[in-house]
Homo-oligomer: A and B are copies of this chain.
Amino acid sequence: MGSTWGNTIKISVFGESHGAGIGVVIDGFPPGIGYDEAFVLREMERRAPGRNKQSTQRKEADLPVIQSGIYGGKTTGTPICALISNTNQRSGDYAALAAQPRPGHADYTGMVRYQSCNDPRGGGHFSGRLTAPLVFAGAICKLWLHTQGVTVGSHIQSIAQIQDMPFDEVCIDPAQLEALRQADYPVNNPRALDAMLAAIEDAHMAQDSVGGVIECAAIGLPAGIGSPMLDTVEGRLSSLLFSVPAVKGVEFGAGFAFAALRGSHANDCFYLDGDMVKTETNNNGGVNGGITNGMPLLFRVCIKPTPSISSVQHTLNIETGKVEPLSIHGRHDPCIVTRAAPVVEAACAIALADLLREAKGYA
């Protein structure tokens, strides 16, 4: 019922955009994993706003302060808590929104769900800012996954219908994922990026916003992780991926393109590569019957256009009962896709760490 997730590694996210602080508790994490602060801060930075002209100009320090769970540079095995203090809020920007719930946002549903008691400032607990602790938790999980030979990475598959080159479905190099992690914008094809940035700028000039698709991969996963029938890898991952704000679709492997394939082309035939069982193709995205098969785990999520736009919208004023024009001021990204990539990776890393710890036990 809310902001806690996981079976063996449990995360509990807290905070509101304009409250005292936001953060996360990670329970059940393995002991003895080195805390690589530079790695974690880079992950935070990838998500942070204000890094380029397209993203929101609001500056956030986003410094996670470790409260517990790390001692002598290593995880202790007991709960890890990171707290990020909120320092730079302009509540005034949002004050008028109470009467006019923003279209595409959770203002109205939050009001119903919490009997108008939830903190409305900056979206409160619904704010995209809450993805910062999620990215912190994801970074911690990645550190453990690395010790298990597992790497998670992603790229922007599309923005405003401009397509990047997809991952090679049967063979992904960890170095490629690391390069994407270091890039300002994680794309495989630099020319696609130029077109994407232009499309974002177009939307920006039109006081509008655009969406896109993120493709995410996890490599190095052993075969045999996950469980039929009601606890599949796909189900476990998607249950967390839909927590990333603006995600409205998740597909694995060929995904919705399966609808256009015949079985003879859709099936991934097996062969032996040295000692390893592999598949010639990877339409199933590394998962058969809800269980990993040792091939790259591959999925895509769609990110809807940022609902906060400056152009006028006509929507209900709850106090008057009438549809009235609404202009949303404040700092908003015309495209959230670039910043969403590390968040999607984080959700993936958390879900995989949870699955892997279940498979491996305490050890």
A258 within 8 A of B: yes
Q: How far is the CB of A1 from chain B (nearest CB, A)?
A: 4
Report the nearest B residue to A323, measured CB to CB.
B271
Report the nearest B residue to A230, measured CB to CB.
B5
State in angstroms the CA–CA spacing of A239 and B231 once bound together. 8
A311 / chain B contacts, CB cutoff of 8 Å: 264
Known: A2-B228, A241-B235. A263 touches B118 (CB 8 A): no
A27 within 8 A of B: yes
A-B contact pairs, 18 of them (CB 8 A): A4-B28, A21-B81, A76-B117, A104-B288, A110-B291, A112-B223, A228-B243, A239-B239, A248-B255, A249-B250, A249-B258, A251-B302, A255-B302, A256-B302, A269-B316, A271-B315, A271-B316, A277-B316
A96 / chain B contacts, CB cutoff of 8 Å: none
Partner of A304, one of B8, B249, B261, B277: B261
B230 A263 Cβ-Cβ under 8 A: no
A269 B103 Cβ-Cβ under 8 A: yes
A205 within 8 A of B: no
Quick one: copies of this chain in the complex?
Answer: 4
| Count of chain A residues near B, Cβ 8 A | 152
Q: How far is the CB of A230 from chain B (nearest CB, A)?
A: 4
A32 / chain B contacts, CB cutoff of 8 Å: 114-115, 117
Interface stretch (choices A41-49, A66-74, A145-153, A180-188): A66-74
A13 within 8 A of B: yes
Interface stretch (choices A54-62, A169-177, A354-362): A354-362
A20 B249 Cβ-Cβ under 8 A: no
Partner of A309, one of B8, B264, B307: B264
